[in-house]
Amino acid sequence: EISGNRGKYHGLSLEQRAAILAMAEAGVSERRIARKFSVWGSTMQRTKRRWEAHYTPQSLPRTSRPYLYCYRTRRLIYQSI
């Protein structure tokens, strides 16, 4: 079970995500699972969607800001410095 001292937007552990997926596969309702783990329904849906799309309970890499210049232009800028 998740601690009450957990910070806002703190992610679930892999064990908790695996337990959520196992309970969902066993047919337990989303509402009951969300109550048991003290998470929102959207967290449940995101965990299930991540599993269905990527077959992994782990967090996916975050996207970064796109580069302002292409690789070749950046290389020229770095060489001129």
Q: How many domains does the chain have?
A: 1
- Is residue 33 over pLDDT 60? yes
Q: How far is CA 54 from the centre of its chain?
A: 11
Considering the domain boundaries, does residue 71 fall inside one?
no
Range of the domain at 24: 10-60
Considering the domain boundaries, does residue 3 fall inside one?
no
Considering the domain boundaries, does residue 51 fall inside one?
yes
Considering the domain boundaries, does residue 15 fall inside one?
yes
- Is residue 4 over pLDDT 80? no
> Which is more confident, 4 or 53?
53
- Is residue 1 over pLDDT 50? no
Considering the domain boundaries, does residue 69 fall inside one?
no
Enter the pTM of the model.
Answer: 0.62
Considering the domain boundaries, does residue 40 fall inside one?
yes
The overall average pLDDT reported for the chain is 84
Summarize pLDDT for 42-75 with one digit per residue, the tens: 888 888 888 888 888 787 777 788 888 888 998 9
- The CATH number given to whatever domain includes residue 48 is 1.10.10.10
